[in-house]
Chains A and B, each alone.
Chain A
Amino acid sequence: MVTYEKQRCWSILLRLFHWMFALSIVVLATTGFYINNPWAGNMIEGSRAWPITSYVRYIHFIAAYTFSSAVAIRLFLYIFGNKQERVLDILPVTGRNLKNLFSTLLHYSYISDKHDERLGHNLLAGATYLITFFAALFMILSGFYMLFPEVAFWQKWGVILLGSQQQARLYHHLVMWWFIIFSVIHVYFLTWNDIRHPEGLISSMFTGVKFKQKV
Chain B
Amino acid sequence: MADTVNKTLDPQLNRRGFLKGCTMAAAALGLSDTMIPKLVEAAATAERPRVIWLHFQECTGCTESLLRGSHPDLARLILDIISLDYHETVMAAAGHQAEQNLLETVENHPFILVVEGAIPRKDGGIYCKIAGKTAMEILGEVAPKASAIISIGTCASFGGVQAAAPNPTGAAGVQDYPELVGSTPIINIPGCPPNPISFLGTILHYLTFKRLPALDSMNRPLFAYGRKIHDQCERRAHFNEGRFVEQYGDEAHKLGYCLFKVGCKGPETFANCPAVRFNDVGVWPVSVGHGCTGCTEPNFWDTMTPFYERLPNVKIPFAGSVQSADQIGKKILGVTAAAVGVHAVVGVGKRLIKGNKDD
Contact = CB atoms under 8 A, between A and B. Distances in A.
Interface of A: 2, 36-38, 40-45, 49-54, 108, 110, 113, 115, 149-150, 152, 155-156, 159, 163-167, 169-170, 173-174, 176-177, 180-181, 184-185, 188, 192, 196-198
Interface in B341-359: 343-344, 346-347, 350, 357-359
A181 B242 contact: no
Contacts of A41: 242-244, 246, 252, 261
Contact of A43 (B216, B239, B251, B299): B251
B255 interface: yes
A184 B336 contact: yes
Contacts of B333: 177, 180-181, 184
Contacts of B359: 2, 196-198
A149 B268 CA distance: 9
Interface residues of B, number: 52
B312 interface: yes
A181 B227 CA distance: 36
Nearest to B310: A36
Interface stretch (B29-37, B83-91, B176-184, B324-332): B324-332
Contacts, number: 129
13 contacts: A41-B244, A42-B242, A43-B255, A49-B241, A110-B347, A113-B357, A155-B216, A163-B299, A164-B300, A165-B228, A166-B265, A184-B336, A188-B340
B336 A181 contact: yes
A42 B252 CA distance: 9
Given A167-B303, A170-B325, A54 B240 contact: yes
Q: Is the interface of A mostly helix, strand, loop or mixed?
A: helix
Given A38-B261, A150-B227, A184-B340, A45 B328 contact: no
Contacts of B299: 163-164
Nearest to A56: B242
Interface string B288-301: 00000010011110
A192 B344 contact: yes
A53 B297 contact: no
B265 to A, nearest CB: 6
A177 B216 CA distance: 32
Given A37-B261, A42-B243, A43-B252, 9 more contacts: A38-B244, A41-B244, A42-B242, A156-B217, A164-B300, A173-B326, A188-B343, A192-B343, A196-B359
Contact of A155 (B217, B246, B269, B346): B217
A143 B257 CA distance: 27
B347 A177 contact: no
Contact of A163 (B242, B269, B303, B325): B303
A49 B350 CA distance: 59
B226 interface: yes
Contact of A53 (B239, B265, B294): B239
Interface string B140-169: 000000000000000000000000000000
Nearest to A166: B268
Contact of B269 (A42, A113, A165, A180): A165
A6 B104 CA distance: 89
A51 B243 contact: no
A177 B261 contact: no
A166 B303 contact: yes
A149 B239 CA distance: 19
Contact of B329 (A2, A44, A54, A177): A177
B298 A163 contact: yes
Contacts of A174: 314, 325, 328-329
Nearest to A41: B244
A3 B239 CA distance: 62
A188 B344 contact: yes
B22 interface: no
A169 B297 contact: no
Interface string B225-249: 0111000000000011111101000
* A-B complex: 6 closest residue pairs judged by Cβ atoms: A177-B329, A165-B268, A166-B268, A52-B242, A49-B241, A164-B297
